[in-house]
Chain A
């Protein structure tokens, strides 16, 4: 008897852990070395009845990648045979770069993007005395020097700023802390 006949073909639902594994293979469309899970934008995967619910949060509210990410997640789930699911946009709590995983940070640095600091300190209040204050030093992802200079507050995407290393002279992107 062929082995295939023993395979359970009933409506077998993959467990949540399996779903997370599949989602961790979906790359961010603009920074493809990091997955949407490592980026911290998949907030929750749950089941409501026989429907799978994936909660996704935007990084920046106007980030054009948000819609592409949703499509990529849909595509990945369908590709694994998941048919009944919906994506839910969740704004609160708002996304923070603290949710980028250690693996994600390592991959960003390898890719040439200085990862955001992860000390949990957030500038949610503007300080009248802080006008014109120099931002904290950012390490060059290529040579490791802290002798770097900010060229512009924004880089190629809303989540990054543009820096230059004064030692190795290479320009690089810095994933801003949010």
Chain B
């Protein structure tokens, strides 16, 4: 496979992670538990849209087939999406939304920190920009998990259930498939397997303060990075892409 094609495929992983999670968070718009939180969670969504646009624009440029960020976001079907399975999982209650966010934010933080040293300067620049925003996200999701975990008995039980339910999707974040290996060899990316230790340390410390245990299961559900998704992604894209599918090339 040509090198440009590999980089394109790999950039889709970064871009799709941001876009898919951004869409999930945007689903809270107008439905947040309190007004302030409605605004806050949609602002995190906004950060992720911005980051997703930067990654997908770069991917589209490299591809050189005349596609842009919009074509990549709105006109690819589920099988062509490369996001982590964790991020397409439904919002559930606020505990589930925040457990998903904590797992991702901490991983995202360590990944971006590594990517600031990428040999590809464009990637390093996008990572450096995103890292500032994601640092704030980590603080936010950590505080929520602690607040809910160390809260009432109902919020504690819900937070525990969410942490347990989503645990099996975390293993995929550290998966080193041939494409990731190639990116490390080329000096583009970092060894994802090596992110597990700092990730787990931060998760453990947060869960301890939240009076919750780190789940024990080691079985990991995977496939998203290769385009094999859970049934939820299709529904998400149906909503996200409806306008472009119904009215091709519509813009405003």
Contacts and interface: CB of A to CB of B under 8 A. Distances in A.
Contacts of B136: 153, 176, 178
B139 interface: yes
B47 A131 contact: no
A62 B39 contact: no
A62 B132 CA distance: 13
A157 B125 CA distance: 23
A154 B39 contact: yes
A158 interface: yes
A61 B39 contact: no
Number of contact residues on A: which range applies? 20 to 34
Given A58-B50, A123-B135, A126-B135, A156 B129 contact: no
A60 B133 contact: yes
Contact of B209 (A60, A62, A131, A158): A131
A61 B50 contact: yes
A130 B46 CA distance: 25
Prevailing SS type, chain A contact patch? loop
A118 B250 CA distance: 44
B97 interface: no
B75 to A, nearest CB: 21
B47 A62 contact: yes
B202 interface: yes
Interface in A123-163: 123-126, 128-132, 151-158, 162
B48 to A, nearest CB: 7
Contact of B36 (A91, A92, A130, A152): A152
A94 interface: yes
A64 B36 CA distance: 19
B10 interface: no
B142 A158 contact: no
Contacts of B205: 128-129, 131
Contacts of A62: 46-51, 53
A93 B47 CA distance: 18
Contacts of B206: 131
Interface residues of B, number: 40
A62 to B, nearest CB: 3
A61 B129 contact: yes
B246 interface: no
Contacts of B209: 131-132
B43 interface: yes
A94 B48 contact: no
B140 interface: yes
A154 B43 contact: yes
Nearest to A89: B54
A31 interface: no
Nearest to B122: A91
Interface string A76-116: 00000000000000011110000000000000000000000
Contact of A91 (B126, B140, B143): B126
B8 to A, nearest CB: 20
B40 interface: yes
A71 to B, nearest CB: 14
B128 interface: yes
B47 A92 contact: no
Contacts of B240: none
B46 A63 contact: yes
B228 interface: no
A4 to B, nearest CB: 44
B201 interface: yes
B142 A131 contact: yes
12 contacts: A61-B50, A62-B51, A91-B125, A92-B125, A123-B135, A126-B135, A131-B142, A132-B143, A154-B43, A158-B43, A158-B46, A162-B36
